[in-house]
Chains A and B, each alone.
Chain A
Amino acid sequence: MSKVKIAGHASGSGTLTIQAPDTSSSRTITLPDATGTLLNSDGSAASLTAIPAANITGTLPAIDGSNLTGIAGRRNMIINGDMKVSQRGTSWAAITSGVYSLDRWLFYHNLGAYTVTQDSTGADGFANSFKIDCTTADASVVADDYLLLRYTFEGQDLQCWKKGTASAESVTLSFWVKSNKTGDLAIHLFDADNTRGIGSTPTINSADTWEKKTITFAGDTTGAFNDDNAASLWLDFWFDGGSTYTGGSTPTSWEAVADSDRGAGTTLALADSTSNYLNITGVQLELGTAATEFEHRSYGEELALCQRYCTIMGGGYKGAKQNGTTVLTVTYDMPVAMRAEPTTTNNSVAAAWMDHDSYSGSTTSYTTTVSNMYGGGTVIRVNWGNFSGATDNRMALITSNAEITFDAEL
């Protein structure tokens, strides 16, 4: 028969009491058949802390969502972080600086020339990436040169950062990157409302290899983001630059922005050879200090999120109002509310129109300009101009396969 031995401790002076509960029932407590120390328990389990997550297995009890931190709801504040949406096209040879290519991503450069593509390769689990291919090298970097990729946030989407308060939140950026070059990128968060910034310089360690980079930025107790639909924050990936933007030092804590700090620390020199390329995908920015797995969303969800900033509407039959003698006004019901009154471009596919009883003309040199936006961005009125022979205040029907791009990017 096994025995129970209660032993004192030679160094201690206290008295250990085994207390019976107030009960009329007889109970048996079976001790574990193992060597170790019993866990503390104070009835509410408040003392049960630091249990390794790997040891929590089996069926969990129902837990109120308010007690689950860091995993509830949408985590990734980046739209199109996996580069799957590219409404404007898939390849831009000799891309102009400051032009949107893949949805939500803006490429700036004045150093060399580049082809940007929505590449059909990505890190494991990603079908696409943003590829920058240097087609004209420029190794002679001068002071004002820059080469960067930018994502811009609306201020109203950043209020959860609690920036400018004593309880400002940390945020964590993660992304996958691949390049033929090794060296440091410069990552910079630029608070455009308060002209403050913070940065980091992750390293590409191996050429031609997908690597995941993770950076946590501390919260900033100074300068709240404006709660509106304007640009409040730029997330910049610097790949090269002159001393105006790289001559300072990497701001490892929030500071009043110095231009020379914004790209400081980048050693990648992506512009120095036409052999150079860089792919990036899986970009995620989330609250907290941990980089969780990338939040994959369906194409439909991601497209809808992008359409707040860019929507392409196809052709067909469009009912219109004749407006003076040269303008036909069409009302568009947008798939999602646009951020602001958009710029419109058309692909110059011929457009014919007719009034109530006859064919009235066709042209490819029409213009499209937004007249008004209603319903918080869900309804947009567009003037098709450069027609002839219209009569004010009469109906018209436009027949055209022309596509109109509505662009309300930041």
Chain B
Amino acid sequence: MYKLVKVNENYAILRISDNAGIPRAEGNRDYQQFLQDIKDNDMSIVEGADIVSPDYVSLRRGDDGYSRIGEQLDMQYKNDGSWEAHILDVKTRHPKTNTGSTTVEVIPAWVQEEVDKLQEI
């Protein structure tokens, strides 16, 4: 069994039996075996990549979350209500009810396309 792994739109393959990470690279023998195994079986031996939607903690800490501490201190020094507004804005946009989720992506078309190109050796 295999599971696809997707990071920044790049795919790799995880071989479940030994937790081996297989690159999507033609010169890799395990990648060739991955394609061959699908050809010998079918696509049911592959699970799509997990798509993780971050929870509110990650979102509040991320680029779309709280400003850097120096900027927040600056807002507090000005004491013009901007800091409270900023905090409220982040909390509103990323509420605690967002506990994150993980969905499994549909197996992308390139997998079958590369299986189809596989040559018998």
A window 355-381: CB within 8 A of B = 367-373
Classify the secondary structure of B's interface with A.
mixed
A370, B12: Cβ atoms under 8 Å? yes
Per a CB cutoff under 8 Å, which of A339, A340, A367 touches B5?
Answer: A367
Q: Is A203 an interface residue (CB 8 A)?
A: no
The docked-state distance in angstroms from the alpha carbon of A407 to that of B22 is 9
- A83 proximity list for chain B (CB < 8 A): none
Q: What is the CB-to-nearest-CB distance from B62 to chain A, in angstroms, rounded to a whole number?
A: 5
- B8 proximity list for chain A (CB < 8 A): 323-324, 371
B62, A391: Cβ atoms under 8 Å? yes
Size category of the binding interface on chain A: 35 or more
Size category of the binding interface on chain B: 20 to 34
B21, A341: Cβ atoms under 8 Å? no
Most A C-beta atoms less than 10 A away, residue of B10, B58, B121:
B58
Q: Is B93 an interface residue (CB 8 A)?
A: no
The docked-state distance in angstroms from the alpha carbon of A392 to that of B25 is 26
Q: Is B80 an interface residue (CB 8 A)?
A: no
A371, B12: Cβ atoms under 8 Å? yes
Q: Is A345 an interface residue (CB 8 A)?
A: yes
Q: Is B106 an interface residue (CB 8 A)?
A: no
Residue of B nearest to A195 (CB): B121
A345, B27: Cβ atoms under 8 Å? no
A window 361-410: CB within 8 A of B = 367-373, 382-383, 385, 389-393, 407-410
- A408 proximity list for chain B (CB < 8 A): 27-28
Instruction: State the A residues within 8 Å of B (CB).
Output: 192, 229-230, 323-327, 329, 339-346, 348, 367-373, 382-383, 385, 389-393, 407-410
Instruction: State the B residues within 8 Å of A (CB).
Output: 5, 7-8, 10, 12-14, 18-23, 25, 27-31, 52, 54-55, 57-58, 61-63, 100, 121
